[in-house]
Chain A
Amino acid sequence: GDSVTQMEGPVTLSEEAFLTINCTYTATGYPSLFWYVQYPGEGLQLLLKATKADDKGSNKGFEATYRKETTSFHLEKGSVQVSDSAVYFCALSDPPYSSASKIIFGSGTRLSIRP
């Protein structure tokens, strides 16, 4: 079946460091891909998305490119801030036209940024 695999955390970085969180997927169709973020004490929020191959999603300085050839959707940010400390979830929606969205989530990667 469809699945999402993302790097295990926790990931600890210093402020202004470069961030990469790896995410790969398996899917039978042509899924949409998402990154969600969960700040402490809150629910999940959509961070960015991409709906087809080579699309780049971006938001708040974060970027991820839909790579069909490598079935990947890695999250990157050039310079992280303390406020980016959160849990990040990679997810896919497959099939995209079902009667109700069936989104498959990765296990989440906890990110901690040191001042």
Chain B
Amino acid sequence: ETGVTQTPRHLVMGMTNKKSLKCEQHLGHNAMYWYKQSAKKPLELMFVYSLEERVENNSVPSRFSPECPNSSHLFLHLHTLQPEDSALYLCASSQDARTSGGTGELFFGEGSRLTVL
């Protein structure tokens, strides 16, 4: 149990569907992240939220839409996805190193395995 919970763990959707991935952290962190992990590719950072503001958007297609309503919750809204979007989507949280003085290491959820048909 890492303190970061992702739901659903598995999701199958068609290209015309709209679905959402949810992430919740119980660690009191103030930064949250979405990563994409595809087979035989490095981890891709998609979005970063710090203090509920988006601070990074790494050229992610608009069919992925993040939402961070508060520091404990993060969503990834999905619509009109492509088969190449099938991957493991990992959520992570950290404490802002600037405020905590720590190293800002990430705590990951177990991921949501997405399959786009």
Contacts and interface: CB of A to CB of B under 8 A. Distances in A.
Please classify the interface of chain A as helix (H, G, I), strand (E, B), loop, or mixed, using the class held by over half of its residues: loop
A105 B42 contact: yes
Contacts of B98: 97-99
Given A49-B103, A89-B43, A93-B97, A99 B109 contact: no
A106 B42 CA distance: 7
Interface residues of A, number: 25
Contacts, number: 76
B96 A32 contact: no
B111 interface: yes
23 contacts: A34-B103, A36-B108, A43-B2, A43-B109, A44-B92, A44-B108, A46-B105, A49-B103, A51-B103, A93-B104, A96-B97, A98-B98, A99-B96, A99-B98, A100-B49, A100-B96, A100-B104, A101-B31, A102-B48, A102-B56, A103-B106, A105-B42, A106-B42
A100 B55 contact: yes
Contacts of A106: 42
A101 B105 contact: yes
A108 B97 contact: no
A63 B56 CA distance: 32
Contacts of B43: 89, 105, 108
B107 interface: yes
A102 B48 CA distance: 9
A69 interface: no
A25 B107 CA distance: 22
B110 interface: yes
B25 interface: no
Interface string A67-99: 000000000000000000000010001001111
B117 to A, nearest CB: 21
